[in-house]
Structure 1
């Protein structure tokens, strides 16, 4: 019998943030419900209580479960026999830690957008709270949940390219190539350009954390130390829009890291290359359904999602035959599906699957990585990443 059938119902999910006009809100809600593992049943979708209640109705919530504030929702849901099982957080960065901590203390599992906290100390506290409460905590690093990035990790873990020697990762965008902070959208984006709200380094909170996590995830190793150039490409900007760094991974592999949101003419793209003793793997978000494998002295192979011979756990991450595009929503859905299956297996006393979805410990490592990049810039040399 299917695990979901044994459990008898989808898990009930509350959303924090992500109103009707929010693309990330639609992404999370659609991903959570895509395979039937979750149902969105409650929420707080605006910091304004009146707007939150009205917007909750606009996304289909029961009026009684469309709340005006997060404390009201946590109290209201805990008093119900059919209260929510988990929350997903997609609010401005400076609220992530507080909302996540409150949800954990209420006994709920958490899915959180990145970054999970403002700094490493807060992120480490979330790790402690998650473990103490016996809860699950997933981070929405969707790039690590594509079938082909999972297969890349599989190849590295199984030694298909030998010991990893070099990792190159980049994430380039153009959204901040102009002075958008002075334009007509400046009021809507105000929180992004406030370092106290967006994080210690804007580009790292926005996209750099994705690049770092993907590199560590596929290479099967955390970053041990960095030497970074942290600053701005756009003159006069007060927030950080560019970081480049040399990396050393645990185990000795070297790496390079470049992220920016201020590259004029660029199109959203994240790319990863991992070189081992005997070959390399190459993945780009532009062709997310394919992975290139180049072994020394052999023709380059292009492996596609759904190809015969792929491991069963990789094939299970896809939903349509090869050649039918799948995208970021499906990758997000894989994270939701894996966390739901782990939750259901625990409650049913079934064997708990060892899914590799991004967890709060990964979020804590990201915050340590960001702080090490900043420390490297300030002192002008290599900086250790706190463990």
Structure 2
């Protein structure tokens, strides 16, 4: 159980690019990173408007001299300081992730980046090569994977409770963009503009979350081929999709489906992950993240609750409060940030093997998410055909 004791030697001096005033995701990043004292916010390039960014940083309590007009100025100035930042979070629109992350890595900074990591697999692999060469950590914020019951589902698969895995059913389908809300909502507008969002909307923005969770729960499954169809039900969003369906075949014979949508009218969030084996199934729903539904053939269905002694010990590691008290998104993100910090310290001390057992969405997860979206787009744009995953 987490009790506030930091497991690293000292807080990591940390900066942000983006995430300024009015940014919901910026607040989530700051709350998660500083929740357990693993990160100490020292600098930022929070806004395209330098004055507005400086004012926001000052409101956060930062030294105004360390609130920079852009990321290039921040990386240069902080690199020259003996107390400069060691890690930076990239919380900006998709089209900027690659150049900012690349510049940060070349400045010998660890990076925590919003997804998608890049627009193309080639770009993602470039970042992976730089990070590997320089011994740097890149974390990707698949934040929902920090919920404790994801770990329990993974343990049930690993210990054979479900039998041989046959079917993976994934969904992230909300209804908040069932109309053209982007006309009055700048935060939604860039997500449906290919210049900023890249080659997809809901495939990259939503679907990669349950995709990564499924990879955590079933790490041995490897996609063999997939077929994708995508639609723009709000016509002005074309060529980007606001609804898509993906069929997947895995090596070994298992199959998967994924439905992702921003036009699932009436749905609050609609992210669900169900894994079905030859003996039973588990299902996790992010609107009830403290529970995991376990169904064994021939037995009554049961609901497993976070924090209970009947769970696997590893599933209890990230609990912050006793069973019955709800934990949510901020706790899940904080769990991941604590792991990012442990990984950063181990890499800086030249001993990455020390955290080889640590599960967190790193550069490999970022590369895989980009590669999956590329294959989905290629399949859909060819008329919904099967494509080898390769």
TM-score range, shorter chain: over 0.9
SS in 2 for 1:357: coil
Tell me the distance in 2 between the aligned counterparts of 1:181 and 1:29: 26
Match of 2:195 in 1: 196
Change (3 A) 1:250 1:77: farther
Is 1:385 aligned with 2:384? no
8 Å CA contact 1:19–1:59 kept in 2: the answer is no
Q: Which residue of 1 aligns with 2:318?
A: 317
- Which residue is 1:293 aligned to? 294
How far apart, in 1, do the equivalents of 2:94 and 2:7 lie? 37
User: Which residue pairs with 2:227 in the alignment?
Assistant: 227
Equivalent in the alignment of 2:327: 326
Mean alpha-carbon deviation: is it higher for 228-237 or for 354-363?
228-237
Q: CA deviation at 1:6?
A: 8.0
Aligned to 1:375: 378
User: Please, which runs of 5 or more residues in structure 2 have no aligned partner?
Assistant: none
Correspondence list, 1:1-387, <5 A = 8-182=9-183, 184-185=184-185, 187=186, 189-220=188-219, 221-238=221-238, 239-348=240-349, 352-353=354-355, 354-379=357-382, 380-386=384-390
Change (3 A) 1:175 1:7: closer
The alpha-carbon deviation at position 139 of structure 1 amounts to 0.7
Instruction: State the SS of the aligned residue for 1:287.
Output: coil
**What is the TM-score of this pair, normalised by structure 2?**
0.93
Q: Distance in 2 between matches of 1:56 and 1:26?
A: 12
Return the offset for 1:237. Answer: 3.2
Does the Cα contact within 8 Å between 1:274 and 1:280 map onto a contact in 2?
A: yes
For the aligned residues, what is the CA RMSD? 2.0
Asked if the contact 2:227–2:247 (Cα under 8 Å) also holds between the matched residues in 1, the reply is: yes
Matches of 1:201 and 1:52 in 2, distance apart? Answer: 29
Aligned residues: 383
- Structure 1 stretches of 5 or more lacking a match? none
What are the Cα deviations for residues 276-321 of structure 1, in whole angstroms up to 9, with x where unaligned?
A: 1211111101110011111121222211111103333321212111
| Residues 1:201 and 1:347: Cα distance change in structure 2 (over 3 Å) | closer
In 2, Cα distance between the equivalents of 1:260 and 1:222? 24
C-alpha spacing 1:333/1:222, structure 2 compared with 1 (3 Å): farther
CA shift, 1:74, in A, is: 0.5
- 1:160 is displaced (CA, Å) by 2.2
Q: Please list the CA deviations of residues 345-383 of structure 1 after superposition, one character each: whole Å capped at 9, or x if unmatched.
A: 344567613211111111111111111112212333211
